[in-house]
Structures are given as C-alpha cells and as structure tokens.
Structure 1
Amino acid sequence: MGVLTGCTSDESLTYQTDYSNHRPLRVVGYPSTGSLRTVQEAVWRLADGDVEGLAALAVDDDTHATSTARNWVKAFGSAARGDVTADFYDDGLVRQVVVLYFARSGLTKEIEVRVGEDDTWGLTLAEPDPADAAVTPTWAPPTPGGSGSRTSGAPS
C-alpha cells in the first residue's frame, strides 16, 4: 500500500501563514492575480515593519529599494496594521497603479506594481527621500472607488 503525502512549497506555506496572520485587504478595481498578491504582500510587510521583506519585493535591482522600504514602513507601518483598501487602476496586464487607503490614519499612498525582467510581479521602490515617500496622491479620490479609473481624470 502506497502512502500519499501532500506537497506544499515553502512559498505557498509562507503565503498561507501570512494570510491567516493579517487583516484582510479590501480591494476595489480589477487587479491581476500577480498585482493583487504583490500588493497584499507589501501591506503585510508594512504592517510587520519588515523593511527587508518589503525591499525584496522590488521589481528591479534598485539601489533605492531598502531606503524606500524604510521610508514606507516609517510612514505607513502602523496604519497598515488596521484596515487597508487597495484601489487598483489600469488594466493590470504588465503594470498597475494602486492607491492604498489606510482607514486607521486616513493616509493614502500611491504605489506601482509591475512585471519585471524575470516576468514576476514586484514593486517600484524609488522614493529614497522620506518626504517623497509620504506624499498623498493629489489625483486620487478621497475614498476608494471614487473615480472608477485612473485614465478618467488622473494624470498619466
């Protein structure tokens, strides 16, 4: 009689553990599977104060990834422990602009997720100046889902 064992990759197990240990992300718009997963992981890294984990999501070998991640954690880490809504814009084939709405603080953060050279989704982390990292997007509506589409009123 053979024995059947289940195989789960470390990556899958880590994702499942993270998912069960964090508040659910609220979603508006139409993310792709890759963009949704990347944004969800970014919010978890923010909530955990995990600078290295957030920097590891960088889509490029960007020299600013760690300093940007540090700035984001400082500006949004505490707020990411509460309810967060991600409003996805664009079509999500290879790039999406996402606005994160942090309910606890009322802060908003525009981020970009895109497919990198290795065909995996990641974050653009190019805000080494703390002031740039904490800027509220002026084009974004005050509440999630308020504009319907980045192309219908936001600058390109």
Structure 2
Amino acid sequence: MQPNLMRAAAVTLVLGAALTACSGGQDGLDYQTDYANHRPLRVTGHPSTGSLETVQKVVWRLADGDADGLAALNTEGDDAGPAARAWVRAYGTAARAEVTADFLDEGSVRQEVVLHFSGPRRTQELTVRIAEGDTWGIVLDDPAPRPDTE
C-alpha cells in the first residue's frame, strides 16, 4: 500500500473511532439525529443534563406523533399508553412549532417543568425525575391543557 493511502486509512480509522466514542453509542446517535431533525427547544431556568434531555425527548415524541416512545419515558410503571396517546392528541401538532420549557427549582433528581406551546398558546406542567436504573423519565399523567398566561 502506498504511504499516502496508509496515512489516509489511519486517519479515517482514528476519526471514526473518535466519533463513535463521542456519540455515546446508539443512544447518542439517536439523540443527535433527533436533535438535528427537530426545532430547537427554548429553555428558561436551570435544567440538569438529564432533565433537559428528557424534556427534549418528550417534545420530539409529541412532534413525531410517537405515543409509544412517549409512553416509554414514563417512570411510574403503569400502562402509560392511554395517557401518551392523549398527550399526542393534545400537543402533537403544537410540538412541531416553537416550544419553550420553563425549568423550575433545582433539578438534580426531580424537576417541575412548564411547557409553553406557541401554536395554540397552551401550557402543560410535567414532572421529570430519575427512575430505576438512574435513568431520567417523566410522570406521565393525563394532559390538562391550560391557556398560556404569557
């Protein structure tokens, strides 16, 4: 093999390994793809890394009409399918427009968040928290849309 081709192959191998390490595996790749395919989430307050990622996933699942993906974020262990489908009906279209998340209080293990949907000008409160296995999720109750007060 020619020296230039060997160097190019080595650089490609090193860059590929570095990108794989940075992506965090398939979950990291899925997150990057979701991030690139959706509108940015506007944020106020002080989210933790886990609470921010979880709220972004909630908004993305709503925007995609993915009730199963939303139900998978539930931390309560019960059948979240009906509540997730109700959330998608209530906010699916609105989640494709601009959404602001107000992160209240401190978010090391649990945080209250208020979502403001700009399309229908409605708000929805939710709780994000650490569940079993130290993964973040949400308490998925039936939605209770309220007119936005802003």
Tell me whether the two structures share a fold, i.e. TM-score over 0.5.
yes
After TM superposition, give the deviation of residue 117 of structure 1 in Å. 2.1
Which of 61, 68, 90 is the equivalent residue of 2:77?
Answer: 61
Q: Unpaired segments of 5 or more residues in structure 2?
A: 1-5
Partner SS, residue 118 of structure 1: helix
- TM-score of the aligned structures, taking structure 2 as reference length: 0.83
- Listed one character per residue, the Cα deviations across residues 86-130 of structure 1 (whole Å, up to 9, x for unaligned) are 001111011111000001110111011001122111010132xxx
**Which of 89, 96, 99 is the matching residue for 1:84?**
99
Larger Rg: 2
Partner of residue 37, structure 2: 21
Q: How many residues are matched?
A: 134
Aligned partners of 1:62 and 1:90: how far apart in 2?
27
Taking structure 1 as the reference length, the TM-score comes to 0.80
Deviation readout 1:27-75 (Å, 9 max, x if unpaired):
0000000000000000000000000000111113222x11111000000
Partner of 1:125: 140
Contact 2:122/2:145 (CA < 8 Å) preserved in 1? no
The yes-or-no answer on 1:96 pairing with 2:146 is: no
Deviation at 1:76, TM superposition (A): 0.5
Alignment partner, residue 50 of structure 1: 66
Greater share of strand:
2
Matches of 1:24 and 1:69, distance apart in 2: 22
Contact 1:62 1:125 in 2 (8 A): no
On the 8 A contact 1:62/1:126 being kept in 2, the answer is no
Residue number in structure 2 paired with 1:148:
none
Cα RMSD (Å) of the superposition?
A: 1.6
Q: 1:34 aligns with which of 36, 50, 66?
A: 50
Preserved CA contact (<8 Å) 1:49 1:77 = yes
1:142 aligns with: 149
- Provide the residue aligned with 1:75 in structure 2: 90
Determine the C-alpha separation between the residues in 1 that align with 2:111 and 2:92.
Answer: 22
